[in-house]
Structure 1
Amino acid sequence: MTSDFCLDDSFWDPSLYKCERCETRFRIIKGFEFSPNCGLSDRGDQLKRQYKKCSGGSFNNGSFINCQKCGFCAPPLLAASACSAESDAVCCSEGKQVLHGGCIDPEVKTTVITTSSGPFTTTASVTDPTITVVDPAASVISPVPSVAHHPNIIKLTGISICAGILSTLTLVCLILFIKRWRTRHFNKAPEVQDAPLKTVLNNLDVLEELVLVLDPDIAGAKNTRHLAAQCSFSFAWINYAYSMKDHKSPLIAVLEGVVTKNPDWTVGHLAGLLNSIDRNDAVDILAKLPAKVED
């Protein structure tokens, strides 16, 4: 050590009167680590070299402050490259092949089969050597993919794909049905749709439910922020409304602002906006408003 104040990985900075890590002044170099205290004295003099080479059995690829212990490729792993001062050992998992110090998937061999029958000649290329077929004309044993000679496997694969497509289509249709059912359910109450928007503010039960489902920030769900944007409130206004959330619901602030700017808006207007941001659960809550409402 060349410092009386700092640990090995840092040096004393006389101008700041504190210890600073070596990497704040010197860059990390592959194959090396910092000397104790970066070789600096507490007065800032360079007494020794800043770096020392990684010793045998250790490395630094430029990502570490200190040299790291080399890894070891234990069976069944294969060593693609040995550990050096600048890089750790590269190990390939079972089933991989070693190439130029790295790991690759094994090559799939392709065999061409040519058969003759009378005046006709058939040529096929196969890549899965799982079963063999003897060519009686050429007396050559060649690998042939098992799937090609098992139509039942192909049939099962086709059935699985069709089943997956049908399941996806069924799910999409179900979602669309539920969405349209919700909209129709609300549309069956025209008196509610035509009621002034301030009706929502006057009904505390419905308003409280809307606040509970729309004000929280939930990942993947659009909320009061998106509703406010649909009502042309600025980004700054929306952020301010949420900053005052402990004192007043952002949704109530939005509804009050809309009623002031657009006194002719109805509950149906709000339902349409909620539907546009995929919050049909909130539309269901609006449907709870009494059919006969007072201004």
Structure 2
Amino acid sequence: TMSYSYLCTDLQTYFNLQTKQCVSCDMKWIKPGYEFVPNCGYADDGGRRDSRTQKCADNYWNDGKSGKCQMCSACPTGVGLRTVRQCNATVDTCCEPCVYCCVSLFIPGLVIIVLLACVMVGALTYFIYKRKNKSCQGRPIKGALSVLFMSILFLTQGRLFPQVSAAPLRMVLDDLDVLEELIIILDPEGHGVKCTRHLASYCNFPSTWINYTYSMRDSKSPLKTLLEGVTTKYPEWTVGDLARLLGEMGRTDAIVVLAKLRPSVHTV
């Protein structure tokens, strides 16, 4: 493998002239679908020999959390699995059934177990507070039941059709009803939950861009602006990619809204 440094054998490091040490490439330069070039493009004399990053090669992917692209996985054969989403530059292959990479699919047995666990926890919480904390006037009970309700709602409704999960992100912009619901729950700031501002950060948009977008919210929704920006910046992103980020943000309510998207003859 080509190297720009004689002093730094780790290709994800470069020689820093000030500290006289090999230091790691700065992850702030990495965006989904890219990886660092050898030694971040720097020679030992401090001169730049190449750009800091390069696109992932064919059959490799990177979600922006690593400095190096990973080889795409292949679904095992002969065990009843099928490919739900093909690997692209930003996400790995997803096989059915799949719990981690696809928000759309759940193993039926797992759903039953989790639902039963939620019901048991909710019931236990109810009786504990009813007997030992009557002065709270039902507020803890309502909070526990609210969590229980959201958990059941997500498990029973927060599932994307496989065709929807693999569809281009543009599908969200084209469905005005779903888009409007997402705008209502994601654009507002505060309330102790992550919003469009955080989603933009997850998508590697700079804070200056985010602040400007929110300053113009009276004329255009920050979420709509963000989704338009993402479809331009990352044209290979899918609805499933958005669902994955919303899951990382803890916004299962937004995933439930996404699950209202329905495949059509135009869905690819």
After TM superposition, the score normalised by the length of structure 2 is 0.43
Which structure is higher in RCO with an 8 Å CA cutoff and minimum separation 6? 2
Between structure 1 and structure 2, the one with the greater Rg is 1
After TM superposition, the score normalised by the length of structure 1 is 0.40
Report the structure, 1 or 2, having the larger strand content: 1
